[in-house]
Amino acid sequence: MNELSDPKAVRAHYGKVHPLAQTKVLSRIDKHARAFIERSPFLVIASADGSGHADAAPRGDAPGFVAVADDKTLLIPDRPGNNRVDTLTNVAENANIGLIFFVPGINETLRINGRAKVTAHPKRLESLWAQGKAPPSALIVTVEEVFFHCGKALIRSGLWDASRQLKRSAFPTLGQIIADQIANVDAAEADVAIEADYKTNLY
């Protein structure tokens, strides 16, 4: 049995943390983190409900769609979606949140951990409008930890390498996937509905 079943076992297996990794964590957004966020069109939000059930959800828009209100506060708009609102309901139960920001072409990522709350206050949403529309709500994130993550994962994956991109025809459409997973769904009709939603319901 080689399971590493507690934090001490994991730490013993991997040894000491590299000094740079230990000391690079900031408690505020500095000029480099701010510049990265301003250039980022995409992030992933990790959250968990009150029972600890975890979820990770993507968010994306034009670079800089996440507003840096000050060096301890981020505003993340929630654009129209399918109304599952998993992240928002999680945050309403459990404020702890983790973010990872990506910038196309840069292998390093930015990680931010902190606490969040959901707001629909018009004043808070003023800076988050896009395409002439306000988001239904936003997350107000109080920053607790900020650090850059090395590029090894993105280098290994070749994420930004265009030659590794899969042709869309090599994988089923979302409509086909849903039809295969759910009874009495027509794949072609589902694809038409999804494409229409992409065109008319982004904002």
Which range has the worst mean pLDDT, 3-7, 29-33, 103-107, 174-178? 3-7
Give the pLDDT of residue 29: 98
DSSP 108: -
> What's at 98, amino acid-wise?
G
Summarised one tens digit per residue, pLDDT across range 186-202 is 999 999 999 999 999 99
In the three-class reduction of DSSP (H, G, I as helix; E, B as strand; rest coil), residue 68 is classed as strand
Question: Do residues 44 and 56 make contact, with C-beta atoms less than 8 angstroms apart?
Answer: yes
| Domains in the chain: ranges and CATH | 13-157 (2.30.110.10), 166-200 (no CATH)
Summarised one tens digit per residue, pLDDT across range 51-91 is 999 999 999 999 999 999 999 999 999 999 889 999 999 99
Summarised one tens digit per residue, pLDDT across range 172-186 is 999 999 999 999 999
Tell how far CA 173 is from the center of its chain: 23
**What is the value of pTM for the model shown?**
0.94
Question: Do residues 111 and 98 make contact, with C-beta atoms less than 8 angstroms apart?
Answer: yes
